[in-house]
Amino acid sequence: MAQDTGLDALETMLAEHACERLMYRYAQAVDFGKASGIAELFTVEGIWLGADGNSMEGREAIHAVMARREQLTRRQSRHVMTNVLVDIESPTRATGVAYLLNYRHDSTTGVALKPAPAAPPKFVGEYHLTFACVEGTWLIEHLRFDLVFLRPRTHA
């Protein structure tokens, strides 16, 4: 039985789509050297919680950390999102889950290689998200990353 969200079918699909796009925009920002822009995808009080327990609280903190990530020019990465599922709970609240496969290569030259040598994903995990619609715009309120698989380190 479907939950009454206060939205009609079209409004529900549009809200789901807006939340899904936030996840994809997040991945593209990191992968294309614009990680500091991730902060704008979060509410002002947004929280980002990593698998290691480290967190960033508030848009300013997220921006500061992600701006440092932008400076990491040796890394070529692709955050591949799949199995995305968004559930609308009300006109202003939603939850979502997405699987993440992270392909990553760190160049020894300090500049990311293109194409980078291929290897199995660095890790596989799940993003668990809460979304809020603020003044008509869907944003990430809380993001938690859970690590599921981790590629062992190799030593050359």
Domain count, the chain: 1
Per-residue pLDDT, 3? 75
Q: Could you list the residue range(s) of the whole structural domain that residue 119 is in?
A: 9-150
**CATH number, residue 74:** 3.10.450.50
Classify residue 155: in a domain, yes or no.
no
Can you give 20-56 as a three-state secondary structure string? HHHHHHHHHHHHCCCHHHHHHHEEEEEEEECCCCCEE
Q: Could you read off the pLDDT of 80-137 as tens digits, one per residue?
A: 999 999 999 999 999 999 999 999 999 999 899 889 998 899 999 999 999 999 999 9
Q: Could you read off the pLDDT of 32-41 as tens digits, one per residue?
A: 999 999 999 9
Classify residue 113: in a domain, yes or no.
yes
Share of the chain above pLDDT 90, in %: 87
Per-residue pLDDT, 153? 81
**Which DSSP state fits 115?**
S
Q: What confidence category does residue 1 fall into, taking pLDDT thresholds of 50, 70 and 90?
A: very low
Classify residue 3: in a domain, yes or no.
no
Per-residue pLDDT, 92? 98
Residue 5 to residue 3: CA distance in whole angstroms: 6
Q: Could you tell me the CA-to-CA distances from 145 to 2, 111, 120 in Å, in that order?
A: 28, 27, 20
Classify residue 156: in a domain, yes or no.
no
Classify residue 16: in a domain, yes or no.
yes
Classify residue 55: in a domain, yes or no.
yes
pLDDT beyond 90 at 146: yes
Classify residue 140: in a domain, yes or no.
yes
Classify residue 49: in a domain, yes or no.
yes
